[in-house]
Amino acid sequence: MPLGGAQAGIDVAPTELPLTPATRIPAALRLASPGYFRTIGAPLVAGRDLAPSDDAGAPAVVVVNATLARRLVGGGPIGTAVGRTIRSDNSAFADASGRPRPMTVVGVVGDMRDGGPREAVAPEFYAPLGQVSAEPWDYWIGRELVLVARAAAPPGGGGDERPSPFALAPALRRAVARVDPAVPLHDVRTTGERLTEALAVERFTTRLLVVLGAAGLALAALGIHGVVALAARQRTREMAIRLAVGGSPAQAVGLMMRQGMRPVAAGLAVGAVAAVGVARGASGLLYGVPPLDLVSLGGAVLLLAAVALVACSGPARRVASLPPGRSLGAE
**What is the per-residue pLDDT across 189-244, written as a single tens digit (0 to 9) for each?**
888 888 888 788 878 888 998 899 889 888 888 888 888 777 777 777 777 777 77
pLDDT at 125 over 80: yes
Average pLDDT over residues 257-280: 84
Contact 311, 225 (CB under 8 A): yes
Counting other chains too, the contacts that 185-194 makes at CB distance below 8 Å and 24 or more residues apart are 185/147, 189/165, 190/162, 190/163, 190/164, 190/165, 191/1, 192/162, 193/165, 194/1, 194/2, 194/3, 194/4
Mean pLDDT of 27-56: 90
Q: Residues 134-145: pLDDT tens digits?
A: 777 777 777 778
Which range has the worst mean pLDDT, 15-19, 83-87, 276-280?
276-280
The mean-pLDDT minimum among 31-35, 240-244, 255-259, 265-269 falls in: 240-244
Q: How far apart are CA 167 and CA 172, in angstroms?
A: 10
Q: What pLDDT is recorded for position 43? A: 92
**What confidence category does residue 322 fall into, taking pLDDT thresholds of 50, 70 and 90?**
low
The DSSP call for residue 94 is B
Angle between helices 236-244 and 294-321 (to 10 degrees): 50
Per-residue pLDDT band at 306 (split at 50, 70, 90): confident
Is the pTM higher than 0.85? no
149-200 pLDDT, tens digit per residue, is 887 765 454 455 565 666 778 888 888 899 999 888 888 888 888 888 878 8
What's the 3-state SS for 106-133? EEEECCCCCCCCCCCCCCEEEEEHHHCC
Computed over every residue of the chain, the mean pLDDT equals 81
pLDDT value, residue 324: 58
Instruction: For residue 130, count other CB atoms closer than 10 A to its CB.
Output: 17
Determine the number of helices (DSSP H) and then strands (DSSP E) in the chain.
Answer: 10, 7
pLDDT at 287 (0 to 100): 63
Evaluate if residue 252 carries a pLDDT over 80: no
Question: What ranges do the domains of the chain cover?
Answer: 9-148, 200-330
